Amino acid sequence: MNIIHRPEWIIPEREATPEDVFFNRRRFMKGVGAVGLGLVAGGPGLVTRAFAQDGPDPTLNLYPATRDPDFTLNRAITPESVTSVYNNFYEFGSQKTISGAAQALKIRPWAITIDGMVDNPQTIDFDDLVRKIPLQERLYRHRCVEAWAMAVPWTGFPLADLVKYAGPQSGAKYVRFETFEDSDVASGQRQFWYPWPYVEGVTMDEAMNEMAFIATGIYGKPLLKQYGAPIRLVLPWKYGFKSIKSIVKMTLTDQRPVGFWESVGPGEYGFWANVNPDVPHPRWSQATERLLGTDERVPTQLFNGYAEQVASLYTDLQGENLYR
Ligand code: MTE
């Protein structure tokens, strides 16, 4: 497929954000410890945005949740000062610097519809849903298809618990997710050539795997908007575009969902998108990844290092294009 309006993140990463711009910004952020401080003057011409919430967050008392020691890391956690200002959230633009624009998203009230092949279809307010399933914290690696990576503490619950809560019917084969659609607040959604709303999906087997996670928080606090508040998916063994943000709908279905990027560029982005260093993206290598917040490049791992937990999901699917 010919991608006429090529999104920034499908060009080689080094071209996407000049490293000197990115690393200078990071050094500055580190210097002032700016995240969450309000407006911070940082010298001539430099002002850093705060990430103020809409008002008192009624879920604050749920954080921090107890960390589950089974989900730990062999690399350093990427600082919040780095990950909160380097995001992919095309609803707010195709740059990494959407954190300011994303503050326009109103996350209260936030309704989530659960429908399709379920016994308990419903539309539920996020503040109710988040109290139905106990929260826990997990440390996960995250690998973007653009070959950058981070490691963060997510708070949330297993996707399997949400699927069970929905009451899956026997014919359900896939779980499909949808992001909000509101071009009044999300200027990126005025880019009419994209197939809004953002959609992603997994098989029921993937959804029930212990690694599939629904995040409502990060760094021991509710999600900031740029991370996909108030509720997002986290699939650490897949390229990051599968981890859909700001979910408003979960549908159990027997039809394989076509994801946002799969529909934009099916030759480059597929349904499975499992991380594999030996399968290059059509336009760049996936052999190594850059760790956000450092100058280091490290080898990429099969299934992003989670092969032990997830490889068995794919043993009967060898005819599929599992790594794109
Ligand atoms: N979800 C929505 N709705 N819109 C997006 O543009 N970008 C994806 C994913 N989820 C995206 C999304 C991509 S490409 C990545 S790498 C991750 O979000 C980035 O998550 P982060 O900004 O919290 O690091």
pLDDT score for 52: 67
Is residue 17 lining ligand 1, measured as CB closer than 6 Å? Answer: no
Is residue 141 lining ligand 1, measured as CB closer than 6 Å? Answer: no
pTM for this model (two decimals): 0.87
State the amino acid at position 286 in one-letter form.
Answer: Q
**What mean pLDDT is reported for the chain?**
88
Is residue 240 lining ligand 1, measured as CB closer than 6 Å? Answer: yes
pLDDT score for 148: 98
Segment 124-140 shows an average pLDDT of: 98
More confident residue, 244 or 11: 244
- Dist. CA 118–CA 281, nearest whole Å: 36
| Residue 242: closest CA among 194, 209, 205, 202 | 202
More confident residue, 20 or 117: 117
Q: Can you give the three-state secondary structure of the chain, one letter per residue? A: CCCCCCCHHHCCHHHHCCHHHHHHHHHHHHHHCCCCCCCEECCCCCEECCCCCCCCCCCHHHCCCCECCCCCCCCCCCCHHHHCCCCCCHHHCCCCCCHHHHCCCCCCCCEEEEEECECCCEEEEHHHHCCCCCCEEEEEEEECCCCEEEEEEEEEEEHHHHHHHHCECCCCCEEEEEECCCCCCCHHHHCCCCCCCCEEEEEHHHHHCCCCEEEEEECCEECCHHHCCCCEEECCCEEHHHCCCCEEEEEEECCCCCCHHHHHCCCCCCCCCECCCCCCECCECCCEEEECCCCCEEECCHHHHCHHHHHHHHCCCCCCCCCC
pLDDT score for 55: 78
59 labelled binding-site residue: no
Q: Are 312 and 244 within 8 A, CB to CB? A: no
State the amino acid at position 269 in one-letter form.
Answer: Y
Is residue 264 lining ligand 1, measured as CB closer than 6 Å? Answer: no
Q: Where are the domains of the chain?
A: 13-308
State the amino acid at position 78 in one-letter form.
Answer: T
pLDDT score for 54: 75
Q: What is the pLDDT of residues 72-90, one digit of tens each?
A: 999 999 999 999 999 999 9
Q: How far is the CA of 227 from the centre of ligand 1 (A)?
A: 8
pLDDT score for 188: 98
Q: How far is the CA of 292 from the centre of ligand 1 (A)?
A: 15
pLDDT score for 37: 32
Beta bridge partners of 303: none
The sign one gets for the Cα dihedral 221, 89, 106, 162 is negative
pLDDT score for 53: 66
Ligand 1, atom 10, residue with closest C-alpha: 244
Is residue 227 lining ligand 1, measured as CB closer than 6 Å? Answer: yes
Q: How far is the CA of 211 from the centre of ligand 1 (A)?
A: 18
Ligand 1, atom 21, residue with closest C-alpha: 87
245 labelled binding-site residue: yes
Reading the block at residue 85, the tokens are 């200002």
| Residue 300: closest CA among 189, 174, 146, 197 | 146
Among 51-55, 115-119, 253-257, 262-266, which is the least confidently predicted range?
A: 51-55
Q: How far is the CA of 89 from the centre of ligand 1 (A)?
A: 5
- Dist. CA 25–CA 105, nearest whole Å: 24
144 labelled binding-site residue: yes
- Dist. CA 251–CA 97, nearest whole Å: 31
Q: How far is the CA of 213 from the centre of ligand 1 (A)?
A: 15
Q: How far is the CA of 243 from the centre of ligand 1 (A)?
A: 6
Q: What is the pLDDT of residues 223-247, one digit of tens each?
A: 999 999 999 999 999 999 999 999 9
Q: What is the pLDDT of residues 150-191, one digit of tens each?
A: 999 999 999 999 999 999 999 999 999 999 999 999 999 999
Q: Which atom of ligand 1 is nearest to the CA of 144?
A: 16
Q: How far is the CA of 44 from the centre of ligand 1 (A)?
A: 32
Q: Which atom of ligand 1 is nearest to the CA of 150?
A: 24
| Residue 276: closest CA among 301, 311, 306 | 301
Q: For residue 7, say if its preceding peptide bond is cis, omega within 30 degrees of 0.
A: no
Is residue 165 lining ligand 1, measured as CB closer than 6 Å? Answer: no
pLDDT score for 48: 42
Q: Which residue, chain included where needed, has tokens 């336009």?
A: 283
More confident residue, 56 or 229: 229
Is residue 241 lining ligand 1, measured as CB closer than 6 Å? Answer: yes
Q: Are 10 and 239 within 8 A, CB to CB? A: no
Q: Which atom of ligand 1 is nearest to the CA of 86?
A: 22
The correct answer on CATH 2.40.50.140 for the domain covering 13-308 is no
Is residue 89 lining ligand 1, measured as CB closer than 6 Å? Answer: yes
Identify the band that residue 111 occupies on the pLDDT scale cut at 50, 70 and 90: very high
